[in-house]
Structure 1
């Protein structure tokens, strides 16, 4: 039972931490982000398993985490507003070639982030050519050109 409680607690802690960190952390991984993720993984493993390194303990932890994830999925599906609260909602960062600085600041997204996405996905080199740039729930920036 201790392992299940640990798994639930760590899942919730990580959910809150990544919610606070924002979607920008999902946008693009740098070498620092990869190192941080590896350290978080190691700390999480130790917190989840404690001194129990048995196959049964690991299986119980994995099953608990998957069940929690499935429960959150059901909550998002059946409870109105839960998906926006858990995953956030898309945010428009550029509208008709104009940067929306307040929304960019809240999302911790720079003009360079938007332009990198525009260059990579659409071959766009000027903000003026962007009709909409939208920060999606998954952390990616969708670009809609004025030509579309």
Structure 2
């Protein structure tokens, strides 16, 4: 009877976890953040510990999994609406190499040493930091890299083509909210941004899902 009891709880827990992970979406695996990682661990522990606790029945397992899953789901909804809270829970990308130079302050802030940086770059098939123009540490711990122009594949040097400068695009609007720091650092004003929005046929920031500016390519804007 004890084995039947464990088997029953395990099957019910399996179904509950499967349903919860499907509800929360695939970011639990493919775009996992530190918050997602901790949430997944706790969710698994709730079921694992309950299997061998005789005082915990099926109803308590289902209640615990449902409550925890609901808390995570509500948190995800909130982070979709509130940009400030999104940065607290999920973090934000950090530029760790800028214009070919390592930004040591950002490495230190993200507790990343140079050996770890080299390891992350090698995962992108980059074996020398001199090849990198810009590198961004993403919230899931991976690195996105923009190579210097002469190291692009196929390389411009191979075809004796003139080198063009590598320019990092600047995000100006996310989820209908202006990233004021980026706008200011790029040397633009609010009046300029409003003019750009009107040129695309829109009237307000809240109409825009995403907007970025890149030197030489201009504005890219996507509405909701």
Please, what TM-score do these two structures have when normalized by structure 1?
A: 0.63
Aligned partner (choices 48, 63, 76) of residue 73 of structure 1:
76
Equivalent residue, structure 2, for 1:95? 98
8 Å CA contact 1:114, 1:133 repeated in 2? no
Change (3 A) 1:83 1:111: same
Return the structure number with greater relative CO, CA threshold 8 A, min gap 6. 1
1:64 corresponds to 2:67? yes
Question: Could you say which structure has the higher strand fraction?
Answer: 2
Task: Name the Cα RMSD after superposition.
Answer: 3.0
Which runs of at least 4 in structure 1 moved beyond 4 Å after TM superposition?
A: 41-47
Deviation at 1:134, TM superposition (A): 1.1
Separation in structure 1 between the aligned mates of residue 56 and residue 46 of structure 2, nearest angstrom: 14
Deviation at 1:64, TM superposition (A): 0.8
Q: Deviations over 1:9-31 (max 9, x none)?
A: xxxxxxxxxxxxx96xx8xxxxx
8 Å CA contact 2:46, 2:61 repeated in 1? no
8 Å CA contact 2:47, 2:65 repeated in 1? no
Please, what TM-score do these two structures have when normalized by structure 2?
A: 0.43
Equivalent residue, structure 1, for 2:145? 143
Separation in structure 1 between the aligned mates of residue 133 and residue 55 of structure 2, nearest angstrom: 54
Please state whether the residue corresponding to 2:77 is helix, strand or coil: helix
Change (3 A) 1:77 1:119: same
Stretches of structure 2 lacking an aligned partner (at least 5 in a row) = 1-32, 153-224
Once the two structures are superposed, the pairs formed by residues 1-148 of structure 1 within 5 Å of their partners are: 46=49, 52-121=55-124, 123-147=125-149
Deviation at 1:97, TM superposition (A): 2.0
Q: Deviations over 1:44-89 (max 9, x none)?
A: 9659x97642121111111111111111011111123111121111
